[in-house]
Amino acid sequence: MPVQLKVPSLGESVTQATVGAWLKKEGEPVQVDEPLVEVESEKATVAVPAPAAGILRKVLRATGDTVNVGDVIAEVEEGAAAQSTATSPFGSGPMPGGVVPVARSVNGSAAQAAGASAPAAAPAPTPTPRAEPRPSPGLVAAPEPAPVPAVRASPSARRLMAEQGVRAEEVARVAAAGQVRKEDVERVLGARDGGAQPLAAVPAAQPAPEAGPRERVVPMTTLRRTVARRLVEAQHTAAILTTFNEVDMSRVLALREKHGEVFLARHGVKLGFMSFFVKAAVDALRAFPAVNAEIRGESIVYKDHYDVGVAVGGGKGLVVPVVRDADALSFAEIEKTVGELAKKARDNKLGPADLAGGTFTISNGGVYGSLLSTPILNPPQSGILGLHKIEKRPVVGEGDAVVVRPMMYVALSYDHRIIDGREAVSFLVKVKEGIEDPERLLLEV
């Protein structure tokens, strides 16, 4: 009996995803928990593992199809004996070695590719029923106002709309791609109370533009669309200001030079710069808790934990995985965690749990050669620290002597609604002091 491969839960409020690359072809043997297909949501790309060992019998949804959480997208025939009986879901006869060509119908489902050599008596495939999104267990669906055509709302958004009396017409203007999220409803409520104004109306989905001479039209991935939406959202919902300083990296470079080989031999990971900046940031966050806080409605939520997001370039774009409880980790543990998360990002294996819940972010544009930049907040966080290229520059040292030092510009972008300029500048000075005197970070003084 075939075992169904379903779209797994992809995190809170995520109900839809896009089918990515199939890692196995129909008719190929698979092992239990072996990755079969990538599923891309607005938060992460997840590799869906095989539910059982056997043969990938049917691929029910093609790459690029939009699916709901819980939808059946493939079937696996358990046991090696299934290899001789596996047949194509797009027609009868033995299973070919490769994926059967499919054509998209108007509604996006897979259909049998027409061909002159296809058997005349081949039956048409039975459409696979699509599973409807289900509310979270224990959640009673709240009554909704009359829906706006072509607009869907997540369960959390529907509940908040019902609780606050928000009409679908109000929130539809700011809903991206026809999907109303909880954040959209919160922006409408903020505008009602005289807070941040909601985004301008999102235009209806447009057909793909035709490519002109020497042009290529490539649809944005779900992750890239989400990054674009969140960056614009940050600009519209927060009062972003940036303050700058420069850091003398001499002491950190000397420590790495002196202890780097022993550190690598003992811990199996190189001593990089990120562990120093994570430690310095946590030290500064303790001193200035507003930078580790966020605004919820008309309240400020101060967080007594330090989950630091580290922006990395993933296989499909910029992602910000989170180093949990960074204040409790050693330098080696921070370096190992950052290395593991960066590898998962490059391999597109980050899950929703890797990305959710950060309280502060560090972005290192210096690895790409950036000398100075103004980083954008990662909502709902209130602060982000930007690191830049280390460059030797002449500076005035003791006794007014001009010396050459390895210097780095650092930038703190912050939400001016809850962080005053004095706090922001003092925070960045605290980071500077920690990096220029790294022994203080080791001794926690």
Within 210-320, strands assigned E span 240-248, 294-296, 299-301, 308-314, 317-319
Cis, peptide link before residue 380, omega less than 30° from 0: yes
Is 45:225 a contact under the CB 8 Å cutoff? no
Q: Is 420 a catalytic residue?
A: yes
Q: CA geometry: angle at 395 spanning 251 and 443, to 5°?
A: 20
Cβ neighbours of residue 358 under 8 Å, at least 6 residues apart? 307, 308, 309, 320, 322, 378, 381
CA–CA separation, 289 vs 389, rounded Å?
A: 28
Contact yes or no for 362/385 (Cβ under 8 A): yes
Contacts of 176 (CB under 8 A, 6+ apart): 184, 202, 225, 229
Q: How many CB atoms within 10 Å of residue 424?
A: 23
Q: What is the 3-state secondary structure (H, E, C) of 375-425?
A: CCCCCCCCEEEEECCCEEEEEECHHHCEEEEEEEEEEEEEECCCCCHHHHH
Identify which of 55, 18, 16 has the alpha carbon closest to the alpha carbon of residue 34: 55
Convert 159-197 to b/e letters by CB count within 10 Å (16 or more is b): bbbeeeebebebbbebbbbeebbbbbbbbbbbbeeebbe
Spot the catalytic one: 236, 327, 416, 437.
416
In 3-state terms the chain splits into helix, strand, coil percentages (rounded to 5) of 30, 25, 45
By residue count, the chain amounts to 445
Read off φ and ψ for residue 296, nearest 5 degrees. Answer: -125, 105
Only one residue has tokens 């090696």, namely: 80
Tell me if residue 437 is catalytic. no
Cα separation, 249 vs 389, whole angstroms: 11
What are the residue numbers of the active site? Answer: 416, 420
